[in-house]
Amino acid sequence: MASTAQVRLTARKTPRQARATATLEAILEATIQVLVAVGPARLTTTRVAARAGASVGTMYQYFPNKQALLYAVTERYFDIVAASVEQVCREQHGARVGQMAEALVEAYWRAKIVRCKVTRALYLVAAEVDTTPLVEAFSKRVELATSTMFASAPDAKFADLTIVNLTLLTSLFGTVRSLFDRSLPKPWACGVQQQLIFMCRSYLEAAKVPSQPAAAVQPHRPSPVIERGPV
Amino acid sequence: MASTAQVRLTARKTPRQARATATLEAILEATIQVLVAVGPARLTTTRVAARAGASVGTMYQYFPNKQALLYAVTERYFDIVAASVEQVCREQHGARVGQMAEALVEAYWRAKIVRCKVTRALYLVAAEVDTTPLVEAFSKRVELATSTMFASAPDAKFADLTIVNLTLLTSLFGTVRSLFDRSLPKPWACGVQQQLIFMCRSYLEAAKVPSQPAAAVQPHRPSPVIERGPV
DNA sequence: ACCTGAACACCGTTCAAGT
DNA sequence: ACCTGAACACCGTTCAAGT
Q: Which of B64, B87, B110 is the last residue of a domain?
A: B64
How many Å apart are B55 CA and C19 C1'? 15
A10 vs B227, which has greater pLDDT?
A10
Check whether residue A31 and residue A83 sit in a common domain.
Answer: no
How many Å apart are A118 CA and D11 C1'? 24
Check whether residue B85 and residue B135 sit in a common domain.
Answer: yes
What domain range includes position A35? 10-64
Check whether residue B36 and residue B78 sit in a common domain.
Answer: no
Predicted pLDDT of residue B218: 42
Strand residue runs (E) in chain A:
157-158, 208-209
Q: In this predicted model, what pLDDT tens digit does every residue of B22-78 receive, in sequence order?
A: 999 999 999 999 999 999 999 999 999 999 999 999 999 999 999 999 999 999 999
Contact B111, B80 (CB under 8 A): yes
Check whether residue A138 and residue A164 sit in a common domain.
Answer: yes
Min Cα–Cα distance to chain B from A199, Å: 5
SS3 of A212, please? coil
pLDDT > 70? residue B182: yes
The residues facing A158 across adjacent strands are A208
- For chain B, what is the radius of gyration of the CA atoms? 21
Distance separating alpha carbons of residues A201 and B221, to the nearest angstrom: 13
Check whether residue A105 and residue A156 sit in a common domain.
Answer: yes
Distance separating alpha carbons of residues A11 and A8, to the nearest angstrom: 8
Predicted pLDDT of residue A212: 58
Instruction: Let me know if residue B103 belongs to a domain.
Output: yes
Predicted pLDDT of residue B214: 42
Check whether residue B146 and residue B91 sit in a common domain.
Answer: yes
Instruction: Let me know if residue A150 belongs to a domain.
Output: yes
Instruction: Let me know if residue B108 belongs to a domain.
Output: yes
Min Cα–Cα distance to chain A from B187, Å: 5
> Under an 8 A CB cutoff, do B190 and A230 touch?
yes
Nucleotides of D under 7 A from a protein CB: 1-6, 11-16
Check whether residue A100 and residue A166 sit in a common domain.
Answer: yes
Handedness of CA A192, A193, A198, A203 (dihedral sign): positive
Interface of A with B in 179-208 (CB under 8 A): 179, 181-183, 187-188, 190-192, 194-199, 201-203, 205-207
How many Å apart are A16 CA and C1 C1'? 8
The residues facing B157 across adjacent strands are B209
CATH of the domain at B60: 1.10.10.60
The distance of Cα A41 from the centroid of its chain, to the nearest Å, equals: 21
Check whether residue A79 and residue A154 sit in a common domain.
Answer: yes
Predicted pLDDT of residue B157: 96
Q: How confident is the model at residue B212 (pLDDT cuts 50, 70, 90)?
A: low
Distance separating alpha carbons of residues B167 and A54, to the nearest angstrom: 46
Q: How confident is the model at residue B231 (pLDDT cuts 50, 70, 90)?
A: very low
Compute the mean pLDDT over every residue in chain B, rounded to the nearest whole number.
Answer: 90
Predicted pLDDT of residue A1: 39
Check whether residue B185 and residue B118 sit in a common domain.
Answer: yes
Check whether residue A96 and residue A195 sit in a common domain.
Answer: yes
Residue from the list B126, B171, B202 with its beta carbon closest to the beta carbon of A175: B171
Instruction: Let me know if residue B186 belongs to a domain.
Output: yes
Instruction: Let me know if residue B216 belongs to a domain.
Output: no
Q: In this predicted model, what pLDDT tens digit does every residue of B129-151 receive, in sequence order?
A: 999 999 999 999 999 999 999 99
Check whether residue A93 and residue A196 sit in a common domain.
Answer: yes
Instruction: Let me know if residue B220 belongs to a domain.
Output: no
Predicted pLDDT of residue A211: 73
Q: How confident is the model at residue B210 (pLDDT cuts 50, 70, 90)?
A: confident
Instruction: Let me know if residue A180 belongs to a domain.
Output: yes
Q: Which parts of chain A sit beneath pLDDT 50?
A: 1-4, 214-231
Q: How many CB atoms lie within 10 A of CB B25?
A: 12
Check whether residue B96 and residue B41 sit in a common domain.
Answer: no
- Chain A residues within 8 A of B174 when measuring between CB atoms: 171, 173-179
Instruction: Let me know if residue A140 belongs to a domain.
Output: yes
Please state the rounded mean pLDDT for residues B72-92: 98
Distance separating alpha carbons of residues B223 and A43, to the nearest angstrom: 47
**N-terminal to C-terminal alpha carbon distance within chain A:** 26
At residue B67, what are phi and psi to the nearest 5 degrees? -60, -40
Distance separating alpha carbons of residues B3 and B67, to the nearest angstrom: 12
pLDDT > 90? residue B230: no
Contact B116, A118 (CB under 8 A): no
B147 touches chain A (CB under 8 A): no
**Residue from B165, B195, B217 to probe the interface with A (highest A Cβ count within 10 Å):** B195
Q: Could you give the number of structural domains in chain B?
A: 2
